[in-house]
Chain A
């Protein structure tokens, strides 16, 4: 006699008054492949956990955003925000597409130069630039945006020391109606600090102000904030031209476009809550064209990071343990912790399974493998009853995790890229002991011990 089909037993208390009146956007919650490559094949070759980046998704996203912008405003140049994801392979994809490098530190500057990006194709931002890095940047004609008065003085000193008159931009902050207002970067527009900085630079024999930069925030959910930003920067440009005869060649509108990730604390799903990228671009380009004559059009730099890369990244991870908490909540232990998932601090990732799993969905906590109570990857995931060995595919994962991750307790995993032709390339191998202990030294007198 054949046995009956087994389905995991479930029991759930019926509760009223907890319905979501907005409902939720349905999405298929399993995928057995990424860009046509089977999840199993990826794990067999590179282990679990493993980060996966889609080359196709990066290129498609860049082309979509660039086409949208350039069809409405001709003089636009995208710059790849290195801090968002500075893996060499990722940067190379963006550079192949035509993006300049946007860096915020000496390390990132060196990384861009090492990849072959010429100095004059690098935008150098950041609130602290050392004299040594400014010297190289000025010698190589990088596009440098200064953050504060001390940096203006430092830049002047460096320019004088190399006997060169250099072009610089200034970073601005302003009220665009969003909260919280980012005021820590650059010179404030409303209190005249920006105007004073421009005047000070104008007086310098070694500095020549030719650009205005502003980055109003991150994950901005209101496109109209960009319209206000652009208008205020155009007004300042006009003021500087008429009152100080300063000719501004470029406006740099920073980044801040959101990806389709779900911020913690937001109620609506990202498909509903997050405006389309076209709306942001429309807000910027329409303000530019409405307030400038074609002969006045400056070069516009766009430093879009997160929106370009986030949805191209995935993390494949495996259920290694199942546990029922004392309060009855189901919990799972996976092989990836918050140390490699920095953005789990503020996102509720999309969770997909590598196979369809039958059973009643219930809320569950997903813990990482770290021996730390705070290692909670997903606080409230709605999942069917998952057996050990099921793979979870977490996304969007492309922005910041692979730069802000930290080595802690265990090795950081491999990162692979699925190429446009369907092949897989390992673009960062898993770490090994020597990668971590390499910079360490043990004083001679500490070497000997007996236990």
Chain B
């Protein structure tokens, strides 16, 4: 997964995202910010899973489905 585009986005701690190349703005939540930060650090899917499971009260099954869905959305928004 190419996460280069993520490094060009302006992301606030509260989850407001600005894409300077298109002018588009997005809103995400705390977990969304966390995932984007980890992706920007170059973590792959399995690493994301491990880190998140360690930190959050969530089952592996639910997290996997949510991560797949979230990354799909990032693809739809041309962020990854």
Q: Give me the interface of A with B, judged by CB distance under 8 Å.
A: 3-14, 322, 324, 327-328, 330, 359-360, 385, 387-388
Contacts and interface: CB of A to CB of B under 8 A. Distances in A.
Nearest to A330: B69
B66 A9 contact: yes
Nearest to A16: B25
16 contacts: A3-B57, A5-B56, A6-B58, A6-B62, A9-B31, A10-B29, A10-B70, A11-B28, A11-B32, A13-B24, A14-B25, A322-B69, A324-B76, A328-B73, A328-B77, A385-B66
Interface of A is mostly: loop
Contacts of B17: 11
A135 B76 CA distance: 67
Contact of A14 (B27, B62, B67): B27
The size class of the interface chain B forms with chain A is 20 to 34
B77 A13 contact: yes
B72 interface: yes
A360 B29 contact: yes
Contacts of A8: 31, 66
Nearest to B63: A6
B56 A324 contact: no
A9 B70 CA distance: 7
Contacts of A4: 55-57
A324 B69 contact: yes
Contacts of B76: 324, 327-328
Contacts of B58: 6
Contacts of A5: 56-57
A9 B72 CA distance: 12
B65 A322 contact: yes
B49 interface: no
B50 interface: no
Nearest to A388: B65
A200 to B, nearest CB: 68
Given A11-B74, A11-B77, A327-B76, A387 B29 contact: no
A324 B57 contact: no
A9 B35 contact: yes
A174 to B, nearest CB: 54
A12 B27 contact: yes
Interface string B42-80: 000000000000111110001101111110111011000
B13 interface: no
